[in-house]
Amino acid sequence: MNRPTATVAFAAPRAWRLPALLLMLAAWLVYHTLSARLPVAQWPGVVLSGADATLPQLVVRYGWLPRVAIALIAGAALSLAGVVFQQVLRNPLAEPLTLGVSAGAYLALTIAAVVAPALVADMRFTVALTGAALAMLATMAMTWRKGFAAVSIVLAGMIVNLYCGALSVLLTIVFERSLTSVFIWGGGSLVQNGWAGVVWLLPRVLACGAAAALLVRPLTLFSLDDGSASQLGMSLAWTRPVALAIAVILSAFVASAVGVIGFIGLGGPVLARLMGARRLRDQLLWAPLVGALLLAIADQAVQSLPGVLGELLPTGAAVALCGGPLLLWMLRRLHVDAPRPASAERAAPRRALRVPVLLLGGLLVAAVVISLCFSVTMQGWQWTDAQHWSDVWFWRVPRLTASLGAGVMVALAGTILQRVTGNPMASPDLLGVSGGAMLGMLVAAVVATEPSTPVLLAGSAAGALICLLTIVTLGRRSGFAPEHVLLAGIAISAFAQAVIMLATASGGAYANLLRPLQYGSTYLIVPATAIAVGVCTVAAVLVAYLGARWLEILPLGANVADALGVGAQRARLLLLAVAAILTAGATVVIGPMSFVGLMAPHLARLLGFPRARSQMLVAALIGGLLMVLSDWLGRNMIFPQQMPAGVIATLLGGPYLMWLLRR
């Protein structure tokens, strides 16, 4: 009976300090918020006086107290899920949010709210679980081959996040007004109005906890690699899916009870490990405790915020605000493999450049002509002949130019990033610069009394620049080790997502304005912007051409590069800066989340162009083609409504990418 305690004490002599500190903080906050509602003398009556209780006592009994309870339970559950995810995937960054599980649940609920509103009320859990499980499967499928390597998983999770996000946006744009309750739920609100939520959640979380406890022994073996674990007689074949299922179910329970709450699953286990819980057994005990306290503290802190903020801020968003910095901080402690030299894993036969380039160029020209001349009008599909040309050119040419330019830039940025990092999953969407640009645009829109296009563009550029500086500062420590830079980017992206969620969850007037803006505005392009984008594109192509030699050498590894007279660190810094500037320019046009930057370089290599220069050329052509098509589809697909080109590109690219990564 005493054994576990003894083990803990042995493993972590100072284990009690941090929880004690958290407990004291939580207790103080609880005292603070409760005494603001009810004089201390009346506290016992909350529980004891039954039906005779005064109104404030009833409010505490049915509103405040269950909220504390649900915060504790949800925090513990998320933290437990985090520990299991991290153990099974051998990845310290795995948790419901980074794995895409929360985004999947959110998407499923959004769809349900649109298709069958009655479902949401009665079958919230089933819907959330379906979405969460599908998202988990997608993330797993993408990283199976890479043995669930830390960075790959986070990247794949982020891709699932982005894809689910794009789908949600599409639904949001069309069905906006029917989704108010989904928005609130997405912000993660812990508000309770009775004990029903607690009664529902507690036994389910306890059952999952018991199941996890039963799995301690096989789970511990995951500390070894797959081979050694199998030799010790463990069947990875069933342990891994069962453990993952438990964690996904836990996440879905919490998601359907209170909504999307991120980063607790990251913070709980980290703090538990920090205070010395090294063994899985200890982590399974301490992490949920710490997680429960963390969420309770966050929730109580939100409640004690003065006035406007306290009433407006959903707890989930508040937690996410702290999560970004936490992730950045964790990066310093994360061991990341050095970029592997691009091996001969995919030695696609090299091809002559001319024919495919001519073919792609021809396709691009055809796409441009079709996009300009063939579209839906109020009289149906129409080919615009020369005499009507003067009516429509102003609306079609600038945005086509901008889409094309943005496609080229983001494809070049993607090629550069993938070559510099040696990571085929690297993409400008994940560099964080897009997130920064989006944040800048948001600040500009909120601060400016009349948000005009130049103000928004300036905000976006400033945000991208600040982000870039942050990433460079953080990256210097690791000598611009690509994986570190990417992970920093992901942290910033996640932070930006959280802020956007926060800004739009309140459902006010800003939200309606910001939602379309987040996903790019091919829409607001005027000729001047188009010309600017065009000039940037030409400059980008020149710079990329000049950098081709570095891009050829860097994937061979830092040692080879240094030996060949290319200062690896300096070259990386410069190339990253170029990629970031290109991304910032493209983000303004197509928004932060298109998979073009990820897809175009891939396709170029698959087509048989592994060399830097030819890969960039082909990728740029593919990127431009994709964006022109997306813009055309966005204008005509559900006429007269117009979809942001970035979202269409994401929808086009996502399935292809997932299929590609599965192989």
Partner 1 sequence: MTERLRFSGRRRLALAGLGAAALAASGAPFAREAAAGLDARSDARAAAGAAVASNPRVVVLDWPLTEVVLSLGVIPAGVSRPTWYAKLDGVPPLPSSVVDTGLLYQPNFEVLESLKPELIVITPWHAPLRALLERIAPTLTVQLFGPGIDVYPAVHAATRKLAGALGREAAANALFARADAALADASARLAAFRATGRPLYLLRPIDDRHIAVFGKNSLFGGVLGALGIDNAWQGMADPQGMSEADLGALAAHTDAQVVTIGVPPGVAAQLARSPLWGALPFVRQNRVQHIGPLPALGGVVASMRFADSLANALQGVTT
State which of positions 210-249 bind partner 1 (CB under 8 A).
none
Instruction: Indicate whether 64 belongs to the interface with partner 1 (CB under 8 A).
Output: yes
User: Is the CB of 121 or the CB of 213 nearer to partner 1?
Assistant: 121
Q: Running DSSP on this structure, what letter comes out for residue 193? A: S
Instruction: Provide the token pair at 611.
Output: 């060399």
- Report d(CA 144, CA 450) in Å as an integer: 49
Instruction: Indicate whether 27 belongs to the interface with partner 1 (CB under 8 A).
Output: no
- One-letter amino acid of 235: S
Q: Per CB under 8 A, which region of 345-353, 358-366, 500-508, 582-590 contacts partner 1?
A: 500-508
Strands 374-377 and 380-383: antiparallel
Neighbouring residues of 152: CB distance < 8 A, sequence distance ≥ 6: 142, 143, 146, 425
Question: Using CB under 8 A, which of 31, 144, 147, 193 touches partner 1?
Answer: 193
User: Is the CB of 482 or the CB of 516 nearer to partner 1?
Assistant: 516
Closest C-alpha to 609, from 628, 596, 622: 622
State which of positions 94-113 bind partner 1 (CB under 8 A).
none
Q: Per CB under 8 A, which region of 42-50, 573-581, 623-631, 637-645 contacts partner 1?
A: 637-645
**3-state helix/strand/coil string of 591-619:** CCCCCHHHHHHHHHHHCCCCCHHHHHHHH
- One-letter amino acid of 238: W
Closest C-alpha to 622, from 363, 402, 349, 351: 363
- Per-position x/- string for 515-554, each x denoting binding to partner 1 as judged by CB under 8 A, each - no binding: -x------xx-x----------------------------
- Report d(CA 25, CA 6) in Å as an integer: 26
Number of residues this chain uses to bind partner 1 (CB under 8 A):
54
With tokens 């009516």, the residue in question is: 391
User: Is the CB of 62 or the CB of 125 nearer to partner 1?
Assistant: 62
Instruction: Indicate whether 180 belongs to the interface with partner 1 (CB under 8 A).
Output: yes
State which of positions 377-416 bind partner 1 (CB under 8 A).
377-378, 391-392, 394-395
Closest C-alpha to 316, from 462, 402, 478, 191: 191
- Report d(CA 631, CA 609) in Å as an integer: 27
User: Is the CB of 56 or the CB of 608 nearer to partner 1?
Assistant: 56
- Report d(CA 394, CA 386) in Å as an integer: 14
Question: Using CB under 8 A, which of 191, 322, 353, 458 touches partner 1?
Answer: 191
State which of positions 158-177 bind partner 1 (CB under 8 A).
173, 177
User: Is the CB of 137 or the CB of 376 nearer to partner 1?
Assistant: 376
Question: Using CB under 8 A, which of 36, 55, 232, 237 touches partner 1?
Answer: 55
Instruction: Indicate whether 456 belongs to the interface with partner 1 (CB under 8 A).
Output: yes
Q: Per CB under 8 A, which region of 193-201, 233-241, 460-468, 584-592 contacts partner 1?
A: 193-201
Instruction: Indicate whether 49 belongs to the interface with partner 1 (CB under 8 A).
Output: no
Alpha helices in 116-149 (DSSP H): 117-122, 124-143
Instruction: Indicate whether 195 belongs to the interface with partner 1 (CB under 8 A).
Output: yes
User: Is the CB of 308 or the CB of 352 nearer to partner 1?
Assistant: 308
**3-state helix/strand/coil string of 218-286:** HHHHHHCCHHHHHHCCCCHHHHHHHHHHHHHHHHHHHHHHHCCCCCHHHHHHHHHHHCCCCCHHHHHHH
Write phi, then psi, for 263 (nearest 5 degrees): 75, -15
Question: Using CB under 8 A, which of 238, 329, 639, 656 touches partner 1?
Answer: 639
Instruction: Indicate whether 304 belongs to the interface with partner 1 (CB under 8 A).
Output: no
User: Is the CB of 59 or the CB of 334 nearer to partner 1?
Assistant: 59
What residues make contact with partner 1 under the rule CB under 8 A? 55-56, 58-59, 62-64, 117-118, 121, 173, 177-178, 180-181, 184-185, 189, 191-196, 307-308, 311-312, 375, 377-378, 391-392, 394-395, 450-453, 456, 506-509, 512-513, 516, 523-524, 526, 639-642
